[in-house]
Amino acid sequence: MLMVITCLLLYNKRQEEKEQARQIEALYNKLVAEELQQEEHQVDVVQEPYVYAPREDSYYDNLDLLARMIHCENSNEVDGEEACWETGSVIINRINDPDYPNTLEGVLHQPGQYDCIKMLYKEEPTDIEYEVAAELLNSGGVIPPEVTNAAEFEQGKVYDRKGKTIYCYKK
């Protein structure tokens, strides 16, 4: 009888160990899947980032932040990628303009400027938005540096219109 009880105890212990091993394997598989998903959004980085990149923030933080802002600002736009380039360029132009903060985070969190900042992490940016953000961080804006305004209303001399958004020169 003692032998039967010992065997049952050993069997139960092995079952518990197998269950723990299954749980660990499931957790490991989940972490690997998340890591692979994150790698899909990574973009090749040019060796020397554009000079305005803030020293205290990492390039990848800025890349993610800019891609997310481009996504938020253009979520309702019909002009897709072209609107992404212009929206991102306005942000880059502001960073380089002495009348605005000289960091990406400073520009985006400036009071009264970007209402969609509250929804920044609600959705994931697309691969195209990450690619546009990377190119803008590495090479600078694609519109004239004096174009620092984008809104659904005119804020100065109009540079371009994309959907509801009007891109304007600095006043």
Query: 């890591």: which residue's tokens?
Result: 35
Q: Which residues of 71-101 are buried (b: 16+ CB within 10 A; e: fewer)?
A: bbbbeebeeeeebbbbbbbbbbbbbbeeebb
Of the given ranges (7-16, 45-54, 116-125, 131-140), which has the lowest mean pLDDT? 45-54
**Helix-, strand-, coil-residue percentages of the chain, each rounded to 5:** 55, 10, 35
Model-wide pTM > 0.85: no
In the predicted structure, residue 151 carries a pLDDT above the cut 80: yes
* CATH domain 59-169 topology: Arc Repressor Mutant, subunit A (1.10.10)
Give the chain's mean pLDDT.
79
35/103: higher pLDDT: 103
How confident is the model at residue 13, as a pLDDT? 63
Mean per-residue pLDDT, 149-167: 89
In the predicted structure, residue 126 carries a pLDDT above the cut 50: yes
How confident is the model at residue 3, as a pLDDT? 58
How confident is the model at residue 146, as a pLDDT? 95
- pLDDT confidence of 57, banded at 50, 70, 90? low
